[in-house]
């Protein structure tokens, strides 16, 4: 089978690479000439473990190619996936101009049946608009060509996207014809051999599933962070509470780690978009509004702990930061808690020295010369007054505490990801503050 993927961003590249990996003939399209030129040379625009190898391997086998010419790519293709960006516009709703432009291109260039599958995260009702835009172009050409639309949201986690695609928990597909169902069933067959299902449903429900899934996950995080903050006040330990509640199979252990708030390209955008969609239907999504509010405050919890520790004044202090990306295994800093924390530290007059295993280049786009960047995690500690952990990269988990102690001006660690054993760190002579496990006494000190 020959397929086309339009939009060679994160989702498009992973999708294209994985389909070609199982032997499907894939053409990836993008309007960015520079990007396509680089991809044809094997230069990948994003960091995702395993992706570069997979792309280069399949290009060599002749199963994966890149072009800017959608008309050419469509020749002989049966299925086209739309995976272009849907940036939020000013009021928070997804901007569909790129998605609909692809639909129009299809209408201009197809000569035979095509199944157009929307993979980009788009508001409920978008597939209907895709269908209409494509039909309008066919009408302009005065031709009758059969086509279908479908919705197939992705559930890829950055840093684990290849694995998520090859061994999905489930594949959600919204369809409105048997032909579309059969095509997608056979396309996804290689990925469902592990027994995980393709769940077919109507298109609107599939579109809704994507937003509901991400909103549910974001809700879990804001819930546990809210409880963590209360744990600090009453003297409880969130790690114990998490284990205690997670053992109930209805709740589960996953995605209940307290921290400094969720970031990334999906949760903040999708929660905001669903609230917006609801409001367009005059429905007030109260739970999700609270989820957003808790997350906004949570991004500053660590900053507040730092400023309170130093008696409300950090002007002239140097703060060492370990980790800037929104989570490990990615250089993505979109909506990362580090953005809010650095902004507040600088506004309070502190100097910031930061290290991240791979996000430094990305960080330079955000912070420019306003902070200094270190090549090594220990280098950040020289002349620093405290250490703050913002991302739980594995290499931060077992630091040489003697060196950390020796280099820091004040032996204090603020751990925004709860990666250390509190007793062990305190026994090594540090003051240690993390999320949701401070004693009631510390919490009172922090509040004052």
- Scan for tokens 């625009």, then name that residue: 45
Phi-psi group of 23: left, alpha or beta (phi > 0 → left; psi -120 to 50 → alpha; rest → beta): left
Nearer to ligand UDX, 277 or 298 (CB): 298
Q: Which residues in the 225-284 window bind ligand UDX by CB under 6 A?
A: 255-257, 259, 262-264, 266-267
List the one residue from 21, 48, 154, 356 that touches ligand UDX (CB under 6 A).
Answer: 154
Binding string, 66-105, against ligand UDX, x = CB under 6 A? Answer: ----------------------------------------
Q: Closest separation between CB of residue 251 and ligand UDX, Å?
A: 13
User: What's the rounded Cα separation, in Å, for the pair 437 and 392?
Assistant: 17
According to the annotation, is 35 in a ligand binding site? yes
According to the annotation, is 259 in a ligand binding site? yes
Nearer to ligand UDX, 59 or 161 (CB): 161
Name 247's Cβ contacts closer than 8 Å, sequence gap at least 6. Answer: 253
Q: Where are the beta strands (DSSP E) in 341-428?
A: 351-355, 372-373, 386-389, 412-415
Instruction: At 91, list the tokens.
Output: 């009021």
Is 266 in the active site? yes
User: What's the rounded Cα separation, in Å, for the pair 9 and 196?
Assistant: 26
Q: Which residues in the 115-134 window bind ligand UDX by CB under 6 A?
A: none
Q: Which residues in the 322-361 window bind ligand UDX by CB under 6 A?
A: 326-327
Q: Closest separation between CB of residue 214 and ligand UDX, Å?
A: 6
Q: Which residues in the 193-232 window bind ligand UDX by CB under 6 A?
A: 214, 217, 221
Residue 393 as a binder of ligand UDX (CB under 6 A): the answer is no
Q: Closest separation between CB of residue 5 and ligand UDX, Å?
A: 17
* Given the residues 18, 28, 106, 266, the one annotated as active site: 266
According to the annotation, is 121 in a ligand binding site? yes
Which three-class secondary structure string do you get for 81-133?
EECCCCCECCCCCECCHHHHHHHHHHHHHCCCCEEEEECCCCCCCHHHHHHHH
List the one residue from 81, 155, 322, 396 that touches ligand UDX (CB under 6 A).
Answer: 155
Region binding ligand UDX by CB under 6 A among candidate stretches 100-108, 155-163, 181-189, 311-319:
155-163
User: What's the rounded Cα separation, in Å, for the pair 175 and 187?
Assistant: 14
Q: Closest separation between CB of residue 327 and ligand UDX, Å?
A: 4
User: What's the rounded Cα separation, in Å, for the pair 49 and 207?
Assistant: 28
| Strand pairing class (114-118; 147-151) | parallel
Phi, psi of 117 (to 5 degrees): -110, 125
The count of residues interacting with ligand UDX (CB under 6 A) is: 19
Bridge partners of 448, per DSSP, are none
Contact between residue 29 and residue 69 where contact means Cβ atoms under 8 Å apart: yes
**Chain residues in the site for ligand UDX (CB under 6 A):** 154-158, 214, 217, 221, 255-257, 259, 262-264, 266-267, 326-327
- Catalytic residues, which ones? 266
Known binding-site residues for substrate equal 155-158, 210, 255-259, 263, 327
Known binding-site residues for NAD(+) equal 30, 35, 86, 121, 158, 269, 334
């Amino acid at each position: 089978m020959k397929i086309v993927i339009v939009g060679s961003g994160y989702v498009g590249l992973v999708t294209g690479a994985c389909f070609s990996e199982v032997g499907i003939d894939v053409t990836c399209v993008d309007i960015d000439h520079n990007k396509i030129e680089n991809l044809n040379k094997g230069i990948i625009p994003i960091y995702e473990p395993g992706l570069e190898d997979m792309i280069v391997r399949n290009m060599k086998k002749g199963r994966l190619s890149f072009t800017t010419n959608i008309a050419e790519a469509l020749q002989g293709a049966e299925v086209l996936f739309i995976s272009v960006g849907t940036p939020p516009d000013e009021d928070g709703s997804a901007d569909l101009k790129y998605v609909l432009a692809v639909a129009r291109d299809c209408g201009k260039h197809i000569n035979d049946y095509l199944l157009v599958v929307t993979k980009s995260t788009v508001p409920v009702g978008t597939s209907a608009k895709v269908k209409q835009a494509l039909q309008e172009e066919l009408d302009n050409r005065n031709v009758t060509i059969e086509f279908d639309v479908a919705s197939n949201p992705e559930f890829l986690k950055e840093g684990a996207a290849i694995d998520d695609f090859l061994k999905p928990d489930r594949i959600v597909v919204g369809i409105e014809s048997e032909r579309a169902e059969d095509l997608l069933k056979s396309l996804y067959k290689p990925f469902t051999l592990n027994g995980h299902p393709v769940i077919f449903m109507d298109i609107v429900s599939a579109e809704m599933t994507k937003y509901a899934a991400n909103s549910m996950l974001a809700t879990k995080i804001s819930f546990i962070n809210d409880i963590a903050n209360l744990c600090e006040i009453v003297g409880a330990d969130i790690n114990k509470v998490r284990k205690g509640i997670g053992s109930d199979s209805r709740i589960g252990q996953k995605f209940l780690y307290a921290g400094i708030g969720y970031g990334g390209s999906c949760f903040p955008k999708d929660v905001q978009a669903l609230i917006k969609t609801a409001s367009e239907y005059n429905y007030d999504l109260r739970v999700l509004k609270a989820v957003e509010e808790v997350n906004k405050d949570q991004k500053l919890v660590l900053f507040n702990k730092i400023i309170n520790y130093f008696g409300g004044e950090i002007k002239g202090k140097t703060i060492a930061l370990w980790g800037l990306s929104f989570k490990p295994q990615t250089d993505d800093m979109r909506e990362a808690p580090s953005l809010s924390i650095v902004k507040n530290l600088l506004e309070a007059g502190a100097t910031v020295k930061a290290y991240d295993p791979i996000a430094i280049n990305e960080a330079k786009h955000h912070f420019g010369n306003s902070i200094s960047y270190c090549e090594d995690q220990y280098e950040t500690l020289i002349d620093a007054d405290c250490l703050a952990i913002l991302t739980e990269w594995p290499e931060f988990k077992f630091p040489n505490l003697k060196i950390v102690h020796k280099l820091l001006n004040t032996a204090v660690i603020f751990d925004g990801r709860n990666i250390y054993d509190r007793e062990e760190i305190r026994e090594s002579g540090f003051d240690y503050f993390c999320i949701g496990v401070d004693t009631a006494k510390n919490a009172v000190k922090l509040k004052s």
